[in-house]
Amino acid sequence: MEENTLGIIKKLSDEGLIKEISISVFKNNQKIKEFNKFDNNKNFHIFSAGKPFIAAVIWKLHDKKLLNFNDPIIKFWPEFGKNNKKI
């Protein structure tokens, strides 16, 4: 798990999508200092960790002119427009 995480962080850093990052992993309300002590066969909850990565992807798409911040949400997620939602 640690190697995959470090590889992803290095790739995002090399592409200029992130400059600094801090990750804390907790199990049973105890901070895990080393990833290899974590059981890879179990599911765990991620709370705010995904937001910076999603933001980095959105900015990258914007830079490549594949996404415009003024586009309505339904352009990318048509189901969101059900029940007369226009945004």
Q: Which domain holds residue 11?
A: 1-45
Quote the number of domains for the chain: 2
pLDDT at residue number 24: 73
pTM over 0.85: no
Give how far Cα 9 sits from Cα of 21, 26, 45, 61, 71, Å.
8, 19, 19, 19, 29
Q: Is 24 in the same domain as 58?
A: no
Residue listed under structure tokens 């080393």: 34
Q: Is 68 in the same domain as 38?
A: no
Reported as a single tens digit per residue, the pLDDT across 38-84 is 555 665 556 677 788 888 889 999 999 999 999 988 888 888 888 87
